Structures are given as structure tokens and as C-alpha cells.
A and B are shown apart, each in its own frame.
Chain A
């Protein structure tokens, strides 16, 4: 897989825009950090988690990753802190905690 690059930044001018703003690189949205407007973040308690995967299924942003050990972990790069994963978790294993002020 070739390395993807976001088409933005000081050297990317109006002349570099594709006709009709078409994005020719598939999946480039993955490079855009969209988790930075989050005010709360989900924290998974592995003691309670039974690896059912409902958080992964319900996440509207596909921000929950399946890890190699079978547990699930929200990716803060994309997670917007909506709390749906915490809401659907049958084991109440996910807690939404306030993001600290930077």
C-alpha cells in the first residue's frame, strides 16, 4: 500500500484542486484526525468486557478496533465521544469520562 497524504497545507493551492473537487485517492479520509472535537472519551474495563463486539458494530464512525487479543478499543484519532458504545454495552464495561482541558 502506498503512503497516503492529505491534500492540504501551505503548498497545496487552488491550482491543485481536482476538477469538481473529486478525491482520486480512495480512503484518504482515514488520514484526517476527526477525533479532536471530542468532549468525552470511552474507557473500556477489560474485567467486565465479554468481547461481544456490540461497540464495534454500533460505532457510527467505525472508530472501534478489534485488537489481536479479541478485545475492542475505541481509536481516539477518530472517536468523537458520542457514547453510543457505552450505551449499547450489555456489560456496562464502557464508561464515558470527561476529556481534560489541554
Chain B
């Protein structure tokens, strides 16, 4: 029998790692991720989890240690956020290029300066092109579910990619909510023991992490790109298998009350739940609005997104990150690109808000929808709009 208990999202992620029976955890503490490695350290110390816990001296070392662990076939877990994720940045590329399925929770945090320990998506967007599979979570239950799922997908023989599970710092990591915890037997059925096929073995020596001169580097990158794109099939299969065992079905792109909606709002992470309330209020007033929760960030679910927005006239994309000097928020820029060559496409309005822990209320999302519609109908040339930022922001055209 599964049980339903109150659990902080951070502890839910740690619990998922415990039930996945991880072999190695290498982590360095950083707010707002600390509750995850703290809880895992307790579990190891109390004998609830038989794993090697490595309290390394930095995030760069954390990810480097994880590479080594994964290369000998250990089920490997870590967690970080914000500047910690930036500090391990170059090693992130090594993990994905060497196809080592390290699983990592990212407690999303803003980047300095000024120093901010609070949440936004600047860290996630900075890691966008690192070659990791990346998903965003809305609540504690998803923090648990996506962590388990990440092991299943990352370690799948046809995938072998590291996976980042994004939890909004504080807005999600520090929130206690009811979480349904499955039986160990169910977890074991979903997540069989992992056998990394290219394990370092003195009896069968191979070279890992060799250098790649110009006559081969391009081919290695294309092989990696094609493999990541191909992983989407297993990602979706993993969601289906998860649903079949645990009863909760997830999708790369998750529409909410979008039937015949002319205007769609697109959000990621925990803010999607707030935005859903704004959608409910709008629909009660008979307004034609729906929501899209973008769960899968990499590989980007192009086809699913196009399907989800094909009947909409306006698509408002909400970013918790500024791409300094760029053509709008990173998510909205990407969605504009993804839709540009398609004849039937909605007008995309980019909104930026929720930076460095700034809250987004239901009313704020109602404003985003109203203002987004107004801007789209007027045909504004502004590259993006802002919400919840004091002072009028205009003339962002070039």
C-alpha cells in the first residue's frame, strides 16, 4: 500500500533517491538545495540508505566525482542550484558527452550580483545547452516522481544521458505538501537495477574521455545531438510506464483547459499551479484562455508544442530569466524560433517576471493574460513585456 504523508519537496527528492537505492552521492551544500543532501546524509548515517556519501569541497568536484562513480556503473545522485550549477558548468558537458547518467536535482536559484539566494530560472537557462535531459516540477509529488523517472530514463540503455530535475528554489523546495509514497516493490518494478554497458574494467580496458582533434570532434557532437533527440521516445515511454505503475501520467507538454482557447499562457515549474488558478478565474468569466505547462525542457518537445498551440491565436510565454541583450526571455525566444517556419502559428508575446524570488500572484498572471492579449492585438513591436517590476519598461526593440 502506498502512503500519503506531508513532505517537503526537497525531502521528497531525497526520498526518491533513497528508494532508487543510489550507490553514490557527491554534493556540496548551497541554498536552497541544502535540505536534499542533508536528508540524504542523515539517511546514510542512520543506515537507511547503503550509499557512499562524498562531502566534496565544491560543485566542480561534486560533478567530477559523480562522473567517476557513474563510469564504474554506480547509480549516482547529486543536487545543486544557482551559482553551484554555474560552478560545475564545464563538467556538466563532460557528463552528457561521456553519456554518464548522473541524476541531479537543481533547486533553481537566481545568479549574483546582487547576491540572491532566492529562486528564478537563470541557472537552468544557463545550463540549457549542456546536453542534459531537463524537466521542471510543479509540486512535491512531482519532485518525487520526476526524480524516480529520471533514473529510469537516464539509465535506459538507449539513452544514457544525465538528467536534471528542476525544482523552484523556496517556492517549491521548502514547501511541505501531501506526497504519495509508493511501496519499495513498486519502485523496484519501475526501476530495475542498472547495468552501465561501458563500465571501466581493467580486464577489458577502454579509453574514456580521450581528446578529440578537429578531424573527429564534429562527428562526436553530431552523434551526441542525434542520441539526445532520439531519447525523447524513451522519455515518453518512461512517463507512460510511470503512469501504469503509479497512476500519475506525465507529458512533455501539458495543456490545462486549452480546449478551443484562443489565448494560451505557457509557464514552467511551480508557477504553473498559480497560473492554473488564474485560468480558472478567467474561464469562469467565459474568457477563451488556457495554460500550457512545459515539463520537458531538453530535448525540446517541438512536435508536442506545435500540436498544443496549433489552434491558438496568441501564445503568452512567461520567463523567469532575462537573456541580457537578447530578443526576449530564453523560453519565449526558443518558442518563437520553433514556430517561425510554420504557417499556422500563434502570435508569441514574451513576458519576464518572478526574478530572484519575486512572487507571482494569481492577480499577476491575470494581468499577464490581459496585457498579453492587448499587446498581441495591438501588434506591439516591443521584444518583451514585464510583470511585477516597478517602473514602466518600454522601448525594448533592439
A residues apposed to B, CB below 8 Å: 7-8, 12-17, 19-24, 26, 28-29, 32
User: Do the beta carbons of A20 and B207 come within 8 Å of each other?
Assistant: no
User: Do the beta carbons of B160 and A13 come within 8 Å of each other?
Assistant: no
User: Do the beta carbons of A21 and B206 come within 8 Å of each other?
Assistant: no
CB distance from B156 to the nearest CB of A (A): 12
User: Do the beta carbons of B219 and A13 come within 8 Å of each other?
Assistant: yes
Q: What's the interface size class on B, roughly?
A: 20 to 34
User: Do the beta carbons of B99 and A26 come within 8 Å of each other?
Assistant: no
User: Do the beta carbons of B99 and A20 come within 8 Å of each other?
Assistant: yes
Given A8-B216, A26-B207, A21:B97 Cβ within 8 A: yes
Does B223 sit within 8 A of A, measured CB to CB?
A: yes
Residues of B within 8 A of A19 (CB): 99, 160, 197-198, 227
Does B210 sit within 8 A of A, measured CB to CB?
A: yes
CA distance A16 to B100 in the complex (A): 19
CA distance A8 to B219 in the complex (A): 10
Residues of A within 8 A of B208 (CB): 20, 22
User: Do the beta carbons of B219 and A14 come within 8 Å of each other?
Assistant: yes
B residues apposed to A, CB below 8 Å: 97-100, 160, 197-198, 205-210, 212-213, 215-216, 218-220, 222-223, 226-227
CB distance from B100 to the nearest CB of A (A): 7
CB distance from B299 to the nearest CB of A (A): 17
Residues of B within 8 A of A24 (CB): 206
CA distance A7 to B197 in the complex (A): 21
CA distance A17 to B210 in the complex (A): 13
Residues of A within 8 A of B100 (CB): 20
CB distance from A31 to the nearest CB of B (A): 12
User: Do the beta carbons of A20 and B160 come within 8 Å of each other?
Assistant: yes
Given A20-B98, A23-B210, A15:B223 Cβ within 8 A: yes
Given A19-B99, A21-B98, A12:B198 Cβ within 8 A: no
- The one of A12, A14, A15, A21 in contact with B212, judged by C-beta atoms closer than 8 angstroms, is A21
Given contacts A8-B215, A19-B197, A23-B207, 19 further A-B contacts (CB under 8 A): A8-B216, A14-B222, A14-B223, A15-B223, A16-B219, A17-B223, A19-B99, A20-B98, A20-B198, A21-B98, A21-B209, A21-B220, A22-B206, A22-B207, A23-B206, A24-B206, A26-B205, A28-B207, A32-B213
Residues of B within 8 A of A16 (CB): 219
CB distance from A70 to the nearest CB of B (A): 32
Q: From B198, B206, B207, B213, name the one whose CB has the most chain A CB atoms within 10 angstroms.
A: B207
Which of chain B's residues has its CB closest to A8's CB? B215
Ranked 3 nearest A-B pairs via Cβ = A20-B99, A23-B207, A17-B223
